[in-house]
């Protein structure tokens, strides 16, 4: 297995406040890694460090064979960055933006013009090429931004929240573009706060919370950490719900709907045992349903360990367990 991006022990603090603490990361060549986390988790800081915009306080990283600290120019030659805010010159047209950046990448004026034309059609902007970027929609601006990033045919592409603020259609268009680029062999490191985005695009997901990687694996591996099925237990009233809470190890709860979700392997015996225990404890479940865990549940269970109210100790699946009484608070 070869890795295009490896980071070891990266740390960064701002004014004594640690934003990243000893982060290790490895992105396999040609794969897509999603750095998933809520606002303030340190995602942007991580990308800015890897893109040479910021020096880490601790740790090392190698990108496309270049050491981040000793050979930043080599790193710059191998990467492209599409930041959180579309980095295009709004007063220039799409074509002028591309031509300007192509010239800065050492293309002659004529070659820059030709390449700009290619990129405009490749990123579905041919009709808008001669309009100023200020007049572009959010989706078009991101596409232009991405087109600029792809001018240099980088080996590594950093995408910082590539679809934040986009409507559904533009988001899906962006996803298919990222998939296409990944298919062409570009190694992609993207940050996102959308679980669906990580699920859709990523080969590997690293969950970042309070500056630490709290879980890492393929989306399926992460989901498997919660077991095969999540059992949702409905209780008739508040009293039964509260009595049941004490004896269970939930992945999520809802105190208004009186539901408690428990991760299981999905076997009849296991569910029978849970129901029996509840019955014996004087808090029988009213209704039972099951669903397959989503990345959402994984996210809650791993990030909630520091922010949520924790109950119980350990689970049969090995994943940390957590109670979140307001699942709707999740950043979506």
Partner 1 sequence: MSMAYALTDSRVMVTRCVRRSLRDPEAFFTALMLPVVLMLLFVYVFGGAFDGSGAYVDYVVPGLIVLCAGFGAGTTAVAVATDMSNGIVDRFRSMPISGSLVLVGHVVASLARNLVATALVIGVGLAVGWRPTAGPAGWVAAAAMIVFFVLALSWLAAAVGLLAGSVEAANSFTFVLMFLPYVSTAFVPAQTLPSWLRGFAEHQPFTPIVETMRGLWMGHTSTGAAVGHEAWIACAWCAGILAVSFAAASWLFRHRTAA
Sites of contact with partner 1 (CB under 8 A): 14, 48, 51-55, 73, 76-77, 79-81, 83-89, 91-92, 96, 100-101, 103-106, 132, 148, 152
CB closer to partner 1, 105 vs 330:
105
Of 84, 173, 157, nearest in space to 125 by CA: 173
Count helices and strands (H / E) in the chain.
Answer: 11, 14
**Is the CB of residue 248 less than 8 Å from the CB of residue 285?**
no
DSSP category for residue 93: B
CB of 83 vs partner 1, minimal distance in Å:
4
CB of 192 vs partner 1, minimal distance in Å:
17
Residue with tokens 């991760």: 263
CB closer to partner 1, 37 vs 83:
83
Residue with tokens 């999603």: 34
CB closer to partner 1, 73 vs 268:
73
Token pair recorded at residue 122: 């490749």
**Is the CB of residue 220 less than 8 Å from the CB of residue 290?**
no
CB of 117 vs partner 1, minimal distance in Å:
18
CB of 300 vs partner 1, minimal distance in Å:
31
CB of 157 vs partner 1, minimal distance in Å:
11
User: First-to-last CA distance in the chain?
Assistant: 34
CB closer to partner 1, 154 vs 304:
154
CB closer to partner 1, 109 vs 277:
109
324 vs 250: CA distance, rounded Å:
9
């Amino acid at each position: 297995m070869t890795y295009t991006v490896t980071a070891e022990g990266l740390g960064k603090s701002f004014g004594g406040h640690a934003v990243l603490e000893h982060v290790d990361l490895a992105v396999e060549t040609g794969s897509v890694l999603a750095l998933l986390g809520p606002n303030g988790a340190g995602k942007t800081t991580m990308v800015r460090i890897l893109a040479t915009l910021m020096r880490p306080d601790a740790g090392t990283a190698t990108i496309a064979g270049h050491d981040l600290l000793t050979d930043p120019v080599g790193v710059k030659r191998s990467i492209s960055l599409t930041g959180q805010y579309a980095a295009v010159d709004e007063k220039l047209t799409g074509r002028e933006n591309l031509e300007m950046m192509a010239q800065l990448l050492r293309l002659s004026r004529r070659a820059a013009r030709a390449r700009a034309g290619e990129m405009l059609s490749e990123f579905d902007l041919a009709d808008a090429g001669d309009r100023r970027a200020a007049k572009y929609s959010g989706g078009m601006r991101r596409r232009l931004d991405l087109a600029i990033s792809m001018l240099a045919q980088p080996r590594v592409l950093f995408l910082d929240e590539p679809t934040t603020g986009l409507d559904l259609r533009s988001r899906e268009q962006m996803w298919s573009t990222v998939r296409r680029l990944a298919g062409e062999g570009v190694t992609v490191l993207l940050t996102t706060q959308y679980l669906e985005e990580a699920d859709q695009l990523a080969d590997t997901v690293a969950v970042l919370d309070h500056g630490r990687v709290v879980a890492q694996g393929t989306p399926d591996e992460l989901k498997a950490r919660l077991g095969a099925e999540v059992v949702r237990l409905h209780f008739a009233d508040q009293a039964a719900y509260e009595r049941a809470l004490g004896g269970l190890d939930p992945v999520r709860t809802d105190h208004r709907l009186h539901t408690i979700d428990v991760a299981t392997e999905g076997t009849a015996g296991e569910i029978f045992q849970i129901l029996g225990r509840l019955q014996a404890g004087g808090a029988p479940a009213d209704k039972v349903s099951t669903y397959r865990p989503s990345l959402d549940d994984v996210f809650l269970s791993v990030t909630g360990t520091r922010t949520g109210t924790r109950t119980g100790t350990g689970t049969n699946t090995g994943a940390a367990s957590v109670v979140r009484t307001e699942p709707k608070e999740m950043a979506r």
